[in-house]
């Protein structure tokens, strides 16, 4: 299972089609992957497990999200003012 994910991460070209977000508005796609990355990190690190599968979510949100949004959200997470639940 882990090597399937590793393969996917290694052969990453760009964010693939996500059936949860089939329409023009991809805002939620970007935000969801950003949330999922941080939640995955938090969940796996709290159990002391290797967080490298979480890299997938990071690659996807980096592909989809504008850099300014990511910087803003990273700043908010540091401040503690991030509106999403992680």
Partner 1 sequence: MAHPTQLGFQDAASPVMEELLHFHDHALMIVLLISTLVLYIITAMVSTKLTNKYILDSQEIEIVWTILPAVILVLIALPSLRILYLMDEINDPHLTIKAMGHQWYWSYEYTDYENLGFDSYMVPTQDLAPGQFRLLETDHRMIVPMESPVRVLVSAEDVLHSWAVPSLGVKMDAVPGRLNQTAFIASRPGVFYGQCSEICGANHSFMPIVVEAVPLEHFENWSSLMLEDA
State the minimum distance, in angstroms, from the CB of residue 75 to partner 1.
16
How is residue 44 written in tokens? 């796996």
State the minimum distance, in angstroms, from the CB of residue 15 to partner 1.
6
- Give the Cα separation of 56 and 21 in Å (integer): 17
The reply on whether position 17 binds partner 1 by CB under 8 A is yes
- Cβ proximity of 30 and 57 under 8 Å: no
Nearest to 32 by CA among 78, 76, 84, 67: 84
- C-beta of 13 vs 47, nearer to partner 1: 13
State the minimum distance, in angstroms, from the CB of residue 16 to partner 1.
7
Nearest to 41 by CA among 29, 33, 31, 53: 53
| Binding residues for partner 1 restricted to 62-81, rule: CB under 8 A | 62-68
What is the contact surface with partner 1 in residues (CB under 8 A)?
12-17, 22, 24-27, 29-30, 59, 62-68
């Amino acid at each position: 299972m882990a090597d399937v994910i590793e393969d996917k991460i290694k052969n990453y070209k760009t964010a693939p089609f996500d059936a949860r977000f089939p329409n023009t508005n991809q805002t939620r796609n970007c935000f969801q992957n950003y949330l999922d990355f941080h939640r995955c990190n938090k969940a796996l690190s709290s159990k002391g497990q290797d967080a490298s599968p979480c890299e997938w979510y990071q690659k996807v949100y980096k592909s989809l999200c504008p850099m300014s949004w990511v910087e803003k959200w990273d700043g908010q997470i540091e401040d503690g003012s991030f509106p999403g639940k992680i």
